[in-house]
Amino acid sequence: MSDMRTPLNKVRGLGSAKDGTGHFWRIRLTSIALIPLSLFLLGWILSVGGASYGEVRAALAQPLIALAASLFILISLDHMRLGMQIIIEDYIHGEGAKVTLLMLNIFFAVAVGAASVFSILKIAFGG
C-alpha cells in the first residue's frame, strides 16, 4: 500500500489521527437513517394537519409515533453535531477556541436532545 503522507510529514512522523473513517461513516449512516424517519414524520405531520391539540396529543401518545419522533430528534442532533465538529475543526485555528467550541457543540446537542425527548415523553404520557 502506498504511503499518502507528504515527505515533510514522513520526517515529522505525522499521519492520520485514525478517526476520520469512523467519522465519515457515522455521518453517512445518520444521513441514511434520517431519510425514512423524515418521510414517516412528514407523513404523520401532514395527516394531523388540521387536528386539534387533543387529537395530536393522542396521536403522539402512540408508541410508534413517539419513538419515531424521538429517534428523528436524536439522530438529527447527532448528525448536526458531527457536521459542526468538522466545521469547527477545519475553520477554527486557535486551540483554546476550538476546544471551547467543540465542548459547546456537544453540550448544545445534549441539552436540546434531552429537552426534546422529555417534551415528547411528557406529551405521550399525558403530563
Residue 49 to residues 37, 53, 93, Cα–Cα distance (Å):
18, 11, 46
In degrees, rounded to 5, the angle at the alpha carbon of residue 24 between the alpha carbons of residues 22 and 30 is: 95
Instruction: Report d(CA 26, CA 89) in Å as an integer.
Output: 17
pLDDT at 12: 65
In order along its 127 residues, the chain shows pLDDT tens digits of 566 666 666 666 555 555 678 888 999 999 999 999 999 999 999 999 999 989 989 999 999 999 999 999 999 999 999 999 999 999 999 999 999 999 999 999 999 999 999 999 998 888 6
Residue 50: give the domain boundaries: 19-124
Task: Give the pLDDT of residue 84.
Answer: 96
Domain count of the fold of the chain: 1
What nine digits make up the cell of 60? 403522539
Continuous H helices in 17-125: 20-47, 53-60, 63-91, 95-124
pLDDT at residue 21, rounded to an integer: 84
Give me the residue label for grid cell 489521527: 17
Terminal C-alpha separation, the chain: 60
Identify whether 5 is part of a domain: no
Which pLDDT value is given to residue 124?
86
Q: What is the CATH number of the domain that holds 78?
A: 1.20.1300.10
